[in-house]
Amino acid sequence: MSEYFSEVEHEKEPSQKRPVLLTVLAVLSFIVIGYGFLGLLTSMLGGQPSPEEIDKGYQQIIQSVSDLRDQNAVGLADFFEQLANMIVYEQNHFFPVMLLNAVTIITGFIGVLFMLRGRRLGFHFYIIYNLLSIGGVYLIVPFDLVPNILLITSVFLSGLFVFLYSLNLKWMNK
């Protein structure tokens, strides 16, 4: 008879409180995802830029690149030139880029929300979000147009956040 009461008491045990690290990571993630959403929203509201607008923006960046080269900042100039070429390519493929960004943002939001609710499935969504954030650009843009420093930075930050979120997997039990 005492076994019956101990099982009942065990079932009514209050759930563990959410780890502070998980809350901090979620807030940081929601800020990044929110920023991405605002960028997506403003891009969609503005629509695809005209060829003239694309060329004007490209010429402004190229002028800055020229100024950097005049100041012997060749590495930085190369980076911005490569970035300008990537941006032009993305603007010419506006709707696939916007669709990919929307899928990425939604996946990240669902992942973080699920993790906050204690669902391990959210961690898997978050990993997919990071893979899309890192490699999604390569689904649309040719490899040679993407600056390596963007890839390195994305891999580092994504890996760091996935690792930190993984420290909270014990709490996620649903």
Q: What residues have CB less than 8 Å from 143, skipping those under 6 apart?
A: none
Per the listing, tokens 């499935």 go with 121
Same domain, 78 and 117: no
- Domain closes at, from 36, 66, 92: 92
Helical packing angle, 121-135 and 148-166, nearest 10°: 170
**Which domain range does residue 162 map to?**
106-174
Same domain, 171 and 141: yes
Same domain, 88 and 147: no
Same domain, 119 and 62: no
**130-172 pLDDT per residue, tens:** 999 999 999 999 999 999 999 999 999 999 999 999 999 999 9
- Domain closes at, from 40, 64, 92: 92
**79-104 pLDDT per residue, tens:** 999 999 999 999 999 999 999 999 99
- Give this prediction's pTM: 0.84
Task: Tell me whether residue 32 is in a domain.
Answer: no
- Domain closes at, from 41, 66, 92: 92
Indicate the number of domains in the chain. 2
Task: Tell me whether residue 139 is in a domain.
Answer: yes
Task: Tell me whether residue 41 is in a domain.
Answer: no
